[in-house]
Structure 1
């Protein structure tokens, strides 16, 4: 097992935090490597040791948070909608600075798209567990609808300062998801 130097971890954390803070202040396109270096109190060389450019940094930062969310979803997949959704909202709340900045930033549409695609993938996994979908709705339309609605709720919740607790929001969203997934009056088996 390779031991990672704590200075490297500390530098990477400072760089990631700097990007998040800068994105809450200005558009990502306006942020330079020098801005990041100044904010993180590291040299430009240190940034380039870890990342090819600011886009690579943003990509790795995005994947780090999405991967953590994916692991949470894997753990929660055996639960009912409400407790599973609450776990996700608690994660979003504990990483409020990152998610609210990324969803509110006009310079990071890539993140919103990546988050939406992640949600669609997770809902597809859930749909394939039940193995049923309504006859009159295509799987793609269904997944886009649910994924976009869920992403929109998350975006609204975070950009409005989380007006509901994760528990209350999970109860409401869980009810909606149960309604959508259980409205199987006319269903077919997925192929």
Structure 2
């Protein structure tokens, strides 16, 4: 009996994966809104019954793809501090930053999501996931700075950098982005000169 259950599970995984790949292939050609469930199941060589056995609608299928991507993204975000009691930001090295490795490794998927007009959905989910683990897993020294506002500010800055990189077609190398992030994090000017015309 357990073997039968394992086979069934493999079939479920296989059909879900086929539906995901079919959706992504269609999304590389047109926007998510323009894709129908009929197109997805025809591309995956399944019927509508199989689709509805796994997903309520195409949005649920997309959410499954995004949720899996975010799990991998969070693992890359945690990499510098997950095995440390104290995370020393001033000792952070470019090599310990893994988020750009993750993004580049899944460049085709991020590019497809960008082109098919679902990036705002992805960005919002990434923001909420990062905010949750920042508030739950990282404790900053008490300085009078509101910890939630600090997390919001930092995460928006990080996501802005990431999505600029994706939108530029990965113009800079992974190592360059890692090095620049470290420089940006550690850069604390005491004064900035205002440019005057003429």
TM-score range with shorter-chain normalisation?
A: 0.7 to 0.9
Secondary structure, counterpart of 2:28 in structure 1: helix
Match of 1:17 among 14, 21, 29: 21
Q: Please tell me whether Structure 1 or Structure 2 has the larger radius of gyration of its CA atoms.
A: 2
Secondary structure, counterpart of 2:46 in structure 1: coil
Structure 2 distance, partners of 1:46, 1:171, is 47
Q: Offset at 1:100?
A: 2.3
Structure 2 distance, partners of 1:100, 1:22, is 13
Structure 2 distance, partners of 1:124, 1:164, is 31
Structure 2 residue aligned with 1:162: 170
Structure 2 residue aligned with 1:84: 96
Structure 2 distance, partners of 1:148, 1:62, is 19
Structure 1's unaligned 5+ residue stretches are 184-191
Structure 2's unaligned 5+ residue stretches are 191-198
Query: Does structure 1 conserve the Cα–Cα contact (< 8 Å) formed by 2:94 and 2:179?
Result: yes
What TM-score do you get using the length of structure 2 for normalisation?
Answer: 0.75
Q: Label 1:133 to 1:156 Cα distance change in 2 as closer, same or farther (>3 A).
A: farther
Runs of 4+ in structure 1 deviating by more than 6 angstroms, as ranges, are none
Please provide the CA RMSD for this pair.
2.7
More helix by share: 1
Between the two proteins, the alignment pairs up a number of residues equal to: 177
Matched, 1:101 2:112: yes
CA displacement, residues 85-106 of structure 1 (integer Å, 9 cap, x when unaligned):
2x22111111112222224442
CA displacement, residues 16-74 of structure 1 (integer Å, 9 cap, x when unaligned):
12222322332322221112112223222222222121121111211111112223333
Q: Offset at 1:153?
A: 1.1
Counterparts of 1:166-185 in structure 2 under 5 Å? Answer: 166-179=174-187
What TM-score do you get using the length of structure 1 for normalisation?
Answer: 0.77
